[in-house]
Every structure is written in C-alpha cells, then in structure tokens.
C-alpha cells in the first residue's frame, strides 16, 4: 500500500532530490489515505466494537442491567453446548453442498462444452438458479417443490408409486443441501466450463489419433487439466456456502442438525435478544474462520503457483 | 484480505443490529409549538392498524390542535424499537402498540402510564365493556396498563361437508380424544384429518401446544417458578400431539404454521384445524373456496373446561410522554365504541377490530357480516381464563406464553427440541428433559 514511484536516479540522490522524494511519498500516501481509512472503518472498527460488545452484559429485554461482565459471555457461549453442533452442521452442509454442486456442475459443463443447437439459451437457463436470491430460492423449494400437497417432488414420487416424503421434517439436512446444490451447480458449471474451453484441441485430437476412447480421454486428459479449476471452485464455493442462512431459516428453523453458525448467531441476537452473548459467538466464529481461511488461502496460492507450472 | 472480510461479516451483522437500534432511538420527539401537538404512534403492520391510520384524519378533524404521526413496522422491528425506546426512557413515542405478552412485564417495570383512572372516569367510554379476559391479560396489580385494540382466541374449525360424509358430528365443546377419533376417521390419502402447527417457534408450534399441555394438566411453571416441563402431564400432551400428527395430521409438520394450514383448509387438503379465531374470517372471505362450508367449535379440552388461547394487540402510553392528556384522549378514541362503528361504516363491517369489546358483538350490521364466526369468537373469548388456564395455579397472567422476557428464547429452543421428537430424531424424555433445564434457568431469575 505504501509503494511509491521507484527512484529513477542512478547516482546517489542529492539533498534536494531526497526531499522531493519524501514529498512524493507523502503525496501518494495522502492520496491513498481515503481508501485506507475507508477500509479500516469498514472492516476493523466493527470488529473491535463487536469485541467490546462481547464483554458487556447486554440483553435487550433487561435494558437496565447493562454492564461489564468480562469473559462471562464467552463462558456462556462455550459452555452452552450449542457451538460444537453448529460447527459440525456448518461443515457438513458446506461439504455436501460443495461436492454435489461440483459433480452436477461438471456434468453440465461437459454437456454444454459441445456444439449443440441453442447452446447459448441452454447456458443462460442453466445459470438462472445462481441469479435467484437465496431467500426466494428457499421459498420456491419449500412451496413448489417439497410441499407434501402441491410440491412437484412429491408429485413425481407419487407418479412413480413411491411414498410421499416429508422433506423438512424427516430429512432437514438433505433439504438444505438440495437447495444449496441447486443454487451452486451453475456457479461450479461456469468455472469448469471456462476450464474445458481453455483445453487445447490439439491434445484432444492427438489422444483421438492414439486411439483413446471418450472415457479415457476424459479421465486421463480432461480431468487433470480441470484440477486447478476444480480446486478454485471448491475453495470459492466453500467460502460462500459456509455463511448459509436462508434455507435453514425458511425450511428447517435449525432442527435436525441444520443449525449452522450463521443461524445460531441470528438466534442469539434476534430471538434471545442477547447482544452480549451474540457478540461473543460472533468473535468465536471469526477466530475459527480466520484459522480456516488462513489454511485455505495458503492452499489457494499453492494452486495458483502450481497452475503456473502446469 | 477478502477472506478475512468475509469472516468478519458475522461480527458486522451484530454491530449493524446495535447501530440500527441506536438510530431508532435518536429520532425526533413530538414537538409542541403554538399549542400544536404531534403524537408519535408506533404500531404493527396489521390490516386493523392500517385501517386506524387511514381513519386518523377523522380524529384530527375533530381535534385541530393534534396531529397523529404513525410509524408502522414489522412485528419484530416494532418489538425491538419500542423496547429499546421505552426501556432507555428516550421518549420518542407518545403511544405504542404492544402485545399482551409485553403489557404485564412493562407495567411491572413502571414503563407505562396506568390508564385505569382516565378510562373509568368516562362513563361514555364504558371500561366494563372491554372483554374481561382481554382486560385481565393487560392488567398488572389491578392497573390497566394497555387498552386492547383487537383480540383473538383459538377455536376448532372443520369442514362440515367432509364431516357429514363421514358421519361425524363435532360437538360445541369437544374433547381432544373426540377430535383425535374424528380426525382418524376422515383422514385419507389426499386429505389429512387435521392440520396443527409444527413449525419450530415460540409463537408457532408452542402456541397451540402450550394450550394442549395446559388442558392435559401441565404447565411451564408451578406457582413458585419451578419449571415443570419434565412431568407426566407434559409427556402425555406432547405424545398426544405427536400421535395426532402421525396418524391424521399433515405430513410435513415442520413446514406448517398458520398460513400453510390456512391454505390446506382452503384447498381441501385438511378437514380440521385448531388455530387462531381470526382464521375464521379468512375462511369465510369471498375468495375462499370453503366459504359457508365451515363449522366452528370451542378448542378441544381434556382436563379443563376451556382451552382457547388469548392474544391482543393493545395501545399503551409510555411513562416518558410529554403529552399524556392528548395521548390518552387518542387511545380512548381508537378503542371506543364509536371507533368500531366508524370502521364499520367507513371501511366495512367485516373489517371491524374483533375481540376487544362485548358490545361489538351486538351491533346488528356486524352480526350479519360475521354471522358464521362472531358468536363462537365471543363465546370463547369471554370464557377463557388467562389467570389460570391450566389445572394448577400459575405465577403470571397469560395462556399460550409465559410473560417473562426469557420466554421467547426458551420457547424457541424447546420448540426445536420437540420438533426433533416429532421427526423421531429424539425421545420425548430427552426433548422434555433438555427443555426443563432451559425453562428452569429462566424461572430461577424470577424466584423470590
């Protein structure tokens, strides 16, 4: 952020030059400062304030009992037994949703990678689930797909003479994962499609000449080529899906092992109306996420660097 | 940096909530210049309240020195904005709309003006005309801290055609066993016998479930705030609720609450429904396919005589107001007999705020407009007992909720535990045992 114009002079700079250079540095710093200040205001101050909140006994329902409590909120958050199940729920939902949307994304990307009539329209249609607001997507699934009376999924099951499934009641985790998979398949598809279209035709032709079948070409040439794209898709997808809230709030209300960290935070702050405790949960979540994100970031850079070598 | 920022979103969310609150309390307060008074009224975005907003000009015409400024909000926003304002004595509002759940708590805290003297002095207002149970839930220590604007109870609604076909008659005061048998009889592949709320939430699943528990002889607390959730009565009630849902209820209870059941009834996908009495007016609306086909009965019972719940939206005056006289006058106007007639003539008789005054139910025009459900609503609303809805005495006034601040949270978490039991993911003992601990922790804060 503090990089300045590289000194052009080869000879040791004179006193006047040095001064001019220092002035230059300050000007560029000054020009940068609005952005830096904005960044700090936007990211760091809220976090510091949240840490402040987390040390305060502050229940909106008992406004007169507000006061400093030290680490009591953290004790309550860590001893309530809610945190670990929420971490497990978040990890499981994220993992399943990412894996399934990656598999479906790969399938559709391969299908769309060939020259078929109406490819542009098909591609646009395939992308739409990703453009729908998460809350709207969850509502669509709740009423027009999963509903036991009018839902299309159960209608299809009935046609096949299969029993009706009570999705949100009996399979809450599967319901949330299905909605997320539906939403994020286009995301994965786009990334993988980019990878497929970047594949060199000559290599594929060479494989054909050498007598490799479609399956062999795919597993031995296309998949290794896609590896980098898959890794990026997994990383970006995880980062987005880990914050999942809408399907949980609309379909399952956090029952049956679907209470993710985001939903838990919402519950503490807006139903428990306990700002102090919610802030403590928030801080714990941030610490955990920073640890995970650091590892993920390192992997990401490795992917990029390895990608350059490949 | 990007990842870190993503990670911070959670913290930012909490902060944004705090900032939104402080922004709410820094608004302008009513100004009084040259004898002109502006009353700030915070209210909930229900149809009845919006009708009041559209009729405020009538009041302003009669009182040229008073302007009433409506601030209409979602229920959740209203609750947090008004709580923050009233509790911190910021004095932004002259009149607030609060639920029956809040009134006794806020009255006890000394946050509200006691309206008993002003209202009982005025014989034209006729304070004794207010429905007694609704008056009870808004009274603390003999003082009326909020006036009901409209109220509701719960009733059993059933499709008469379906019942007749199956040869089932629903008595005026049924028992839960009778209803369970009837539901089983009319339950088919395409139509569930009964629809009951199952969506986890203190105001969703636990509104009807608490009344079932109470009529089965249980309750949340005994008279000295000991939680009584792990008792046989609770187990009976919750097991009954699950059996009812399993044998003849809707198939996906976690997805079902008021709106979903309403649709199921209208579409002929459910034969019976026990829920808020206000639903009757929707089932009898002109666009409803089951209009005129519905029968209504009291909420089913087991060990008590009545089992309907009781809810009201009320107008109250925060103790911090600078215009107490004017605010009282407006509250009196909005909850008077004349206001009800005004709504009837200006907006329509089926839009009249129900469940606040006995006299509403003897207005001829209303009796015709609401013939199908007005008599049962009045009969239920005047016979429920919010002081002791269950078999044993309780230390608070209220039926389907416990009027302590912690109840929202306790009710919500317990609803999730019960939902796990309803879906066969845990045992009833496990669910109620955990709920007992949560309830006890909340009850301990109110002992002594």
Q: What is the pLDDT of residue B19?
A: 41
CB contact under 8 A, A147 and B252: yes
Which residues of chain A neighbour B76 with C-beta distances below 8 Å? 270
CB contact under 8 A, A169 and B405: no
Which site among A82, A142, A149 would you substitute to test the B interface, given the most B Cβ atoms closer than 10 Å to its Cβ?
A: A149
The candidate with the shortest Cα–Cα distance to B82, out of B316, B333, B353, B335, is: B316
Report chain A residues whose CB lies below 8 A from the CB of B12. 46-47, 50
Q: What is the pLDDT of residue A305?
A: 64
Distance to chain B for A272, nearest Cα, Å: 5
Two structure tokens written together for B189: 């592949």
Q: How near does any CA of chain A get to the CA of B206, in Å?
A: 14
B234 Cβ partners below 8 Å, 6+ apart?
Answer: B213, B216, B218, B228, B432
pLDDT band at B315 (very low <50, low <70, confident <90, very high): very high
B207 closest CA partner among B256, B138, B172, B140: B256
Element (H, E) at B338: helix B337-346
pLDDT single digits (tens) B374-391: 999 999 998 899 999 999
Average pLDDT over residues A181-204: 90
- What mean pLDDT is reported for chain A? 85
For an interface test with A, the pick among B79, B198, B255 (most A C-beta atoms closer than 10 Å) comes out as B255
**DSSP secondary structure code for residue B399 in this structure:** S
Give B296's strand partners.
B157
B318, β-bridge pairs: B112
Looking at the complex, report in whole angstroms how far the Cα of residue A180 sits from the nearest Cα belonging to chain B. 18
For B36-151+311-377, the fitting CATH number among 3.40.980.10, 2.60.40.60, 3.40.190.10, 3.10.129.10 is 3.40.190.10
CA distance B398 to B104: 9
Q: Residue B292 class from Cβ within 10 Å (0-12 exposed, 13-18 middle, 19+ buried)?
A: exposed
Section B149-170 average pLDDT: 93
CB contact (8 A) between residue B13 and residue A285: no
Domains of chain A: 15-68 (no CATH), 83-258 (1.10.3720.10)
Cβ contacts below 8 Å, chain A against chain B, sum to 148
Which residues touch A154 (CB under 8 Å, ≥6 apart)? A146, A147, A148, A164, A165
Question: What is the average pLDDT score of chain B?
Answer: 88
Name residues whose C-beta falls within 8 Å of residue B396's C-beta, 6 or more positions apart in sequence: B104, B221, B402, B403, B404
> Which of B6, B14, B250 is opposite residue A282, by nearest beta carbon?
B14
B276 three-class SS:
strand
- The least confident of A79-88, A284-293, B20-29 is B20-29
Dist CA B55 CA B39 (whole Å): 15
Contact B14/A50, CB-based, under 8 Å? yes
CA distance A146 to chain B (A): 9
Domains B36-151+311-377 and B153-309+392-444 share a fold: yes
- The pLDDT of residue A79 is above 90: no
Contacts of A38 (CB under 8 A, 6+ apart): none
In this predicted structure, the answer to whether residue B412 has a pLDDT above a threshold of 50 is: yes
Question: Which of A52, A53, A63 best tests the B interface by mutation, with the highest count of B CBs <10 A?
Answer: A63
Q: What is the pTM assigned to this prediction?
A: 0.82
Determine, for residues B14 and A53 on separate chains, whether the beta-carbon distance falls below 8 Å. yes
A147 touching chain B per CB within 8 A: yes
Chain A: residue whose CA lies nearest to B202: A271
Place of tokens 């700030």: B40
Please state whether beta strands B310-316 and A67-68 pair in parallel, antiparallel, or not at all (unpaired). unpaired
Nearest neighbour of B255 by CB, restricted to A43, A46, A168:
A168
Q: How distant is the alpha carbon of residue B334 from its chain centre?
A: 19
Q: Are B278 and B152 in contact (CB under 8 A)?
A: yes
* A84 lies within 8 A of chain B by CB: no
Among chain B residues, CA nearest to A255: B416
What DSSP letter does each residue of chain A carry, written as one string? ----PPP---SPPPHHHHHHHHHHHHHHHHHHHHHHHHHHHHHHHHHHHHHHHHTEE-BTTSGGG-EE-TTHHHHHHHHSS-HHHHHHHHHHHHHHHHHHHHHHHHHHHHHHTS--TTHHHHHHHHHHHHHS-HHHHHHHIIIIIS-TTT-HHHHHHHHTTPPP--HHHH-HHHHHHHHHHHHHHHHHHHHHHHHHHTS-HHHHHHHHHTT--HHHHIIIIIHHHHHHHHHHHHHHHHHHHTT--HHIIIIITT-SS---HHHHHHIIIIIS-BHHHHHHHHHHHHHHHHHHHHHHHHHHHHHHHHHHH-
Give the pLDDT band (50/70/90) at residue A182: very high
* Residue in B closest to A289 by C-alpha: B7
pLDDT of residue A209: 87
pLDDT digits (tens, 9 = 90+) for B35-62: 789 999 999 888 888 889 999 999 999 9
The fold for domain B153-309+392-444 equals D-Maltodextrin-Binding Protein; domain 2 (3.40.190)
Q: With CB atoms and an 8 Å threshold, state whether B250 touches A148.
A: yes
Quick check: A153 pLDDT over 60? yes
Closest partner residue to B253 among A60, A146, A169, by Cβ? A169
What CA–CA distances, in Å, run from B2 to A297, A306, B8? 10, 21, 10
Would you call B194 an interface residue with chain A, using a CB distance cutoff of 8 Å?
no
pLDDT at A214: 84
- Taking the C-alpha atoms of residue A138 and residue A179, their distance in angstroms, rounded to an integer, is 7
CB B25 within 8 A of CB B85: yes
Q: What does the pLDDT look like over A208-254, one tens digit per residue?
A: 888 888 888 888 888 888 888 988 898 889 888 888 899 999 998 88
Report the pLDDT value the prediction gives residue B4, as an integer from 0 to 100.
41
Q: What's the confidence (pLDDT) of residue B393?
A: 92
- Taking the Cβ of residue A164 and every Cβ of chain B, the question of whether any pair is shorter than 8 Å is answered with yes
Is B147 buried (19+), middle (13-18) or exposed (0-12) by CB count in 10 A? Answer: buried
Helix locations, B88-167, DSSP H: 103-108, 116-121, 132-137, 160-166
| Paired strand residues for B158 | B272, B295
d(CA B244, CA B179): 9
Is the CB of A262 less than 8 angstroms away from the CB of B10? yes
B150 φ, ψ (degrees, to nearest 5):
-150, 160
Averaged pLDDT, B311-318:
94
pLDDT for residue B217 is more than 60:
yes
Residues of B within 8 A of A255 (CB-CB) are: 200, 254, 416, 419-420, 423
**Domains of chain B, residue spans:** 36-151+311-377, 153-309+392-444
Lowest mean pLDDT across A226-235, B15-24, B96-105, B117-126: B15-24
- Stretch 58-97 of chain B: residues touching chain A, C-beta under 8 Å: 76, 80, 83-84, 87-88
Q: In whole angstroms, what is the distance from residue A259 CA to residue B264 CA?
A: 28
Residue A9 is predicted with a pLDDT of 46
Using pLDDT thresholds of 50, 70 and 90, give the confidence band for residue A105: very high
Determine contact: A148 vs chain B, CB below 8 A: yes
What band does A303 get if pLDDT is binned at 50, 70 and 90? low
pLDDT at B31 over 60: no
Percent of chain B with pLDDT over 70: 92
Q: Closest Cα partner for B406 from B447, B354, B355?
A: B447
């Amino acid at each position: 952020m503090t990089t300045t114009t590289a000194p052009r002079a080869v000879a040791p700079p004179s006193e006047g030059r040095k001064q001019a250079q220092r002035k230059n540095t300050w000007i560029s710093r000054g020009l940068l400062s609005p952005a830096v200040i904005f960044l700090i205001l936007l990211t760091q101050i809220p976090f510091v304030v949240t840490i402040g909140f987390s040390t305060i006994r502050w229940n909106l329902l008992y406004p007169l009992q507000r006061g400093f409590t030290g680490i009591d909120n953290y004790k309550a958050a860590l001893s309530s037994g809610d945190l670990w199940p929420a971490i497990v729920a978040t990890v499981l939902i994220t993992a399943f949703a990412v894996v399934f949307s990656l598999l479906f994304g790969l399938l559709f990307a391969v299908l769309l990678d060939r020259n078929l009539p109406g490819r542009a329209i098909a591609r646009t249609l395939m992308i739409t689930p990703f453009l729908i607001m998460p809350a709207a997507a969850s509502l669509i699934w709740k009423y027009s797909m999963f509903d036991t009376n009018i839902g299309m999924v159960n209608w299809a099951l009935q046609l096949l003479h299969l029993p009706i499934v009570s999705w949100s009641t009996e399979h809450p985790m599967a319901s949330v994962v299905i909605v997320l998979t539906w939403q994020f398949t286009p995301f994965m598809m786009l990334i993988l499609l980019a990878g497929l279209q970047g594949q060199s035709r000559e290599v594929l032709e060479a494989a054909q000449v050498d007598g490799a079948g479609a399956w062999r070409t795919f597993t031995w040439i296309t998949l290794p080529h896609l590896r980098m794209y898959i890794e990026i898709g997994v990383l970006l997808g995880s980062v987005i899906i880990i914050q999942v809230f809408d399907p949980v709030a609309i379909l399952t209300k956090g029952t049956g092992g679907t209470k993710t960290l985001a939903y838990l935070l919402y519950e503490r702050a807006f139903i428990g109306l306990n700002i102090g405790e919610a802030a403590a949960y928030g801080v714990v979540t941030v610490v955990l996420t920073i640890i995970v994100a650091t590892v993920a970031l390192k992997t990401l850079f490795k992917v990029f660097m390895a990608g350059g070598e490949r | 940096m990007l990842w870190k920022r993503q990670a911070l979103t959670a913290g930012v969310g909490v902060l944004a909530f705090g900032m939104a609150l402080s922004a709410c309390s820094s608004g302008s307060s009513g100004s009084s210049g040259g004898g002109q008074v502006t009353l700030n009224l915070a209210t909930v975005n229900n149809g009845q309240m919006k009708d009041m907003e559209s009729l405020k000009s009538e009041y302003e015409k009669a009182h040229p020195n008073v302007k009433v400024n409506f601030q209409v909000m979602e229920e959740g926003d209203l609750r947090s904005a008004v709580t923050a304002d009233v509790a911190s004595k910021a004095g932004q509002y002259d009149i607030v709309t609060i639920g029956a759940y809040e009134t006794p708590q806020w009255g006890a805290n000394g946050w509200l003006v006691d309206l008993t003297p002003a209202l009982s002095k005025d014989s034209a207002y006729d304070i004794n005309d207010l429905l007694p149970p609704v008056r009870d839930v808004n009274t603390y220590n003999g003082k009326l801290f909020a006036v009901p604007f409209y109220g509701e109870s719960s009733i059993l609604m059933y499709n008469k055609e379906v019942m007749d076909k199956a040869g089932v008659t629903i008595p005026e005061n049924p028992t839960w066993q009778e209803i369970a048998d009837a539901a089983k009889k009319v339950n088919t592949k395409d139509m569930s016998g009964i629809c009951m709320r199952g969506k986890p939430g203190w105001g969703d699943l636990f509104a009807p479930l608490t009344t079932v528990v109470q009529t089965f002889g249980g309750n949340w607390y005994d008279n000295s705030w000991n939680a009584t959730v792990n008792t046989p009565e609770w187990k009976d009630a919750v097991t009954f609720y699950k059996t009812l849902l399993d044998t003849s209820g809707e198939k996906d209870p976690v997805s079902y609450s008021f709106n979903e059941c309403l649709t199921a009834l209208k579409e002929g996908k459910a034969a019976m429904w026990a829920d808020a009495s206000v639903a009757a007016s929707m089932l009898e609306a002109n666009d409803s396919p089951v209009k005129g086909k519905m029968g209504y009965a009291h909420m089913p019972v087991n060990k008590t005589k009545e089992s309907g719940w009781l809810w009201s939206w009320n107008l109250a005056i925060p103790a911090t107001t600078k215009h107490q006289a004017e605010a009282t006058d407006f509250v009196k106007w909005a909850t008077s007999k004349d206001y009800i007639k005004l709504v009837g003539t200006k907006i329509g008789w089926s839009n009249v705020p129900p469940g606040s005054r006995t006299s509403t139910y003897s207005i001829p025009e209303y009796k015709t407009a609401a013939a199908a459900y007005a008599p049962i609503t009045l009969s239920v609303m005047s016979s429920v007992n919010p002081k002791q809805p269950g078999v044993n005495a309780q230390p608070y006034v209220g039926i389907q909720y416990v009027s302590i601040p912690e109840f929202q949270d306790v009710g919500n978490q317990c609803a999730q535990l019960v939902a796990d039991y309803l879906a066969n993911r845990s045992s009833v003992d496990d669910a109620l045992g955990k709920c007992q601990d949560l309830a006890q922790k909340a009850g301990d804060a109110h002992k002594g």
